[in-house]
Amino acid sequence: MRRILAQARKELLQLVRDRLALGLALVLPVGLTALMGTSVSLTVTDIPIVVQDFDQTPLSRRYVDAFRTSLTFRVVTLPAATSPETLLARGRARAALIIPEHFERDLRRRRPTETQLLVDATDGNTARLVRGSAGQITRAFARDVGRVGTPPIETATRLWFNPGRDPQKFYGPGFLVLGLSIFPTVLAALAMSREGEQKTILQVYVSSISAHEFLLGKILAGMVIGFVQCVLLALLMFTLFGLRFAGDPTPLVVGSALFVFCVVSFGSLVGAAIPNQAAAVQAVGLGGFLLAFLLSGLIFPIENIPDALRWISSLVQARYYVLIVRDAFLQGGGWPAMWWAVLAIGAIGLVFYALAWRAMRRMQVKA
């Protein structure tokens, strides 16, 4: 135990002396999470929509006003002698609404009329949002104008957990996970591959410290940094993102501890397997960052990943941690909802630890 602590102390001392690494450890995770969490979102508001009104009557203008007042759209004027299609092609507008002649007359005579919406579908998700909201606006307008009375079935929608539909509350915790997936891993990989690159592993080999003690010391130091990062990022969630614990925070506490253990073990594994710092960082970038970013459901739902790739995501620890963090800050399901995710992270962590231990013993033989 004393040897483990001594090893951990040495690692932390080494980190404090390296300014670049210290920046990686403390400044970057917070900065990155703050920037990404506030900037990245799929929900577009203020979509520029161009209106071509062939009718030019009070009623058609009222219809356009319905679009103007919605938060989703921003009506841009159509310059003279240009077609709406050119504005779409030029990217000045994402959608075009075309109101036909005799719009008002048909409505007054209770004859059904059709308006047309052209959507730039280059971005499929935005196109879907545009289609959905334009449909909602039109239905509300039709009900208002057509005096058809209330429809036979109405829906009363209640939005749980994030009633304002604030995208930051969803992506903020996601990027907390990304930050915690990258930086402790990179630092651990650097610390381990340094021993291989500078052959200091031989000194370890001749000292009385055992492989487990050495590895645990390294991991303990990595976990201390990981915890500091975790607390800093959690503070960011409370301040910048305005989140609160929605329920029992203990699954998050236990899950975070296991997750940090997991990523630090993964970093040590990579560092032990690749005794070259530049290559180790690249491997972590590819393995840690890319997998956590792509296969964890951080931005895009896991359900949409093709089956051939989706099974990989169940081996990615970040996938479970994303669930735990979002549950703690948004849903508040607590242990009944999250026990399996916490267990999964623990299991993956143990596997990484065992692999790191094996890789390290090989590293001593190689050196």
Token pair of 63, please? 């219809």
8 Å CB contact between 171 and 36: yes
Q: Which is nearer to another protein, 247 or 349 (CB)?
A: 247
**Is there binding between residue 22 and another protein (CB under 8 A)?**
no
User: Cα(158)–Cα(55) distance, rounded to whole angstroms?
Assistant: 37
Using CB under 8 A as the binding rule, the residues of this chain from 34 to 93 that contact another protein are: 35-36, 38-47, 63, 85, 88-91
Contacts of 51 (CB under 8 A, 6+ apart): 64, 67, 75, 78, 96, 97, 98, 99
**Is there binding between residue 301 and another protein (CB under 8 A)?**
yes
Question: Please, what is the minimum distance in Å from the beta carbon of residue 291 to another protein?
Answer: 9
Q: In b/e form, how buried is each residue of 322-337, taking b as 16+ CB within 10 angstroms?
A: bbbbbbbbbbebbeeb
Question: Please, what is the minimum distance in Å from the beta carbon of residue 351 to another protein?
Answer: 22
Question: Please, what is the minimum distance in Å from the beta carbon of residue 354 to another protein?
Answer: 27
**Is there binding between residue 166 and another protein (CB under 8 A)?**
yes
8 Å CB contact between 331 and 247: yes
Contacts of 22 (CB under 8 A, 6+ apart): 15, 16
Stretch that binds another protein, among 202-210, 230-238, 255-263, 301-309 (CB under 8 A): 301-309
8 Å CB contact between 97 and 54: no
Stretch that binds another protein, among 161-169, 231-239, 267-275, 349-357 (CB under 8 A): 161-169
- Structure letter (DSSP) for residue 81: T
Using CB under 8 A as the binding rule, the residues of this chain from 216 to 255 that contact another protein are: none
Stretch that binds another protein, among 50-58, 133-141, 205-213, 218-226 (CB under 8 A): 133-141
64, 176, 264, 295: residue in contact with another protein (rule CB under 8 A)? 295
Q: Which is nearer to another protein, 58 or 336 (CB)?
A: 336
**Is there binding between residue 154 and another protein (CB under 8 A)?**
yes
Stretch that binds another protein, among 8-16, 201-209, 263-271, 332-340 (CB under 8 A): 332-340
CA-based nearest residue to 322, from 185, 174, 182, 184: 174
**Is there binding between residue 307 and another protein (CB under 8 A)?**
no
Q: Specify the pairing of strand 73-76 against strand 47-53.
A: parallel
CA 79 to chain centre: 40
Tally Cβ neighbours within 10 Å of residue 342: 23
Question: Please, what is the minimum distance in Å from the beta carbon of residue 129 to another protein?
Answer: 6
12, 76, 145, 240: residue in contact with another protein (rule CB under 8 A)? 145
Stretch that binds another protein, among 7-15, 207-215, 217-225, 281-289 (CB under 8 A): 281-289
10, 62, 110, 212: residue in contact with another protein (rule CB under 8 A)? 110
**Is there binding between residue 212 and another protein (CB under 8 A)?**
no
8 Å CB contact between 188 and 262: no
